[in-house]
Amino acid sequence: MVRTFIVILLGLLPTLALAQAPAVQGSSQFYPAPPPLQAPTVDRGSPLSGLSSPLDGARATVVKTEINSQAEAQMLATASRLVWGRYARLKGNKPGELRISNADELWTIKGRVEMTAPGAEGDWASVEGTIERISANHFQLRGEAAFRVAKVQKGLPCKVAGTLNFRRGGKSQVWRLAEGDNPCDGAQEMLDIHMEKRADTRPVPTQPLPTPVSSPAPSRG
C-alpha cells in the first residue's frame, strides 16, 4: 500500500509543479491578440482654406433688427466706407466700399477693403453679416470679419465670427470693431466703418431786404 501511495504521489508532482509555475504569456492562446481583419479608419484633417470660427447654431436666425436708437440708425444708414487700421499709415491705400441694406426691417452689412500700397498688395479685410441690434453709439452684428495678411498664417484668411460689436465714441462718425484682434497673430486690426461725409445742402436762410429810405417831400414856398 505504501508503494501504491508513492506511485500516485509521483504521478501528481508534474501537475502540482505546472500549477505553481508562473504563467508564460507567450504560451497562452490569447496572447498576443490576433491582428484585426481591417485597420481602423482615420478621418482626414479639414483643409486650412476658408478658416472660420464656428457660429452658435443654437441661436435663432435674426428676422428683424432691433432698433433702440433712431438717431443712431439714421447715422448708420449713411455709412459707406470700410477702413483697415493695420495699414492706415501706408500711403496709397484707399478706403473700401461698404453697403448697408435695411429691407423688410432687417439690416444687413457687407464691405471689403483691398490693399494696393507697396508692401501690402493682395492683403484685404472684409465684414459681412446681419445687424441684430442698433443702440446709442453701438450696433451688434451677427456675422464674420476676415483679415488676409500675406505674412500671417501663410496668407490664409484669419476670421472672427459670431456676435460682433461695433462701437462709436462721442461725436465720432466712426464705428470700430471691438473684437478686432487677429486670432492668428494677436494684432489689433482696427477695422472701422465710416459715415459718408456729405456736403451741407441745407438751404441758406433768406436775408431780409433793406427798408427803403423815403426822401423828404419838397417844401412849398
Name the average pLDDT for the chain.
78
What are the backbone angles phi and psi of residue 110, rounded to the nearest 5°? Answer: -155, 130
pLDDT at 24 over 60: no
**pLDDT score for 201:** 45
Q: How many angstroms separate the CA atoms of 131 and 109, rounded?
A: 7
How many helical (H) and strand (E) elements, i.e. helices and strands, does the chain have?
2, 9
Q: What would the grid cell of residue 117 be?
A: 500700397
Scan for cell 465714441, then name that residue. Answer: 169
pLDDT band at 32 (very low <50, low <70, confident <90, very high): low
pLDDT digits (tens, 9 = 90+) for 168-205: 998 999 999 999 999 999 999 999 999 976 544 444 45
pLDDT band at 58 (very low <50, low <70, confident <90, very high): very low
Q: How many angstroms separate the CA atoms of 161 and 146, rounded?
A: 9
pLDDT digits (tens, 9 = 90+) for 64-115: 999 999 999 999 999 999 999 999 888 888 899 999 999 889 999 999 999 9
The answer to which of 44-58, 100-114, 132-146, 154-168 has the lowest mean pLDDT is 44-58
Of 4 and 61, which is predicted with more confidence?
A: 61
- The answer to whether the pTM exceeds 0.75 is no
3-class secondary-structure state, position 144 = strand
Q: What would the grid cell of residue 185 be?
A: 497673430
What's the average model confidence in pLDDT over 30-39? 64
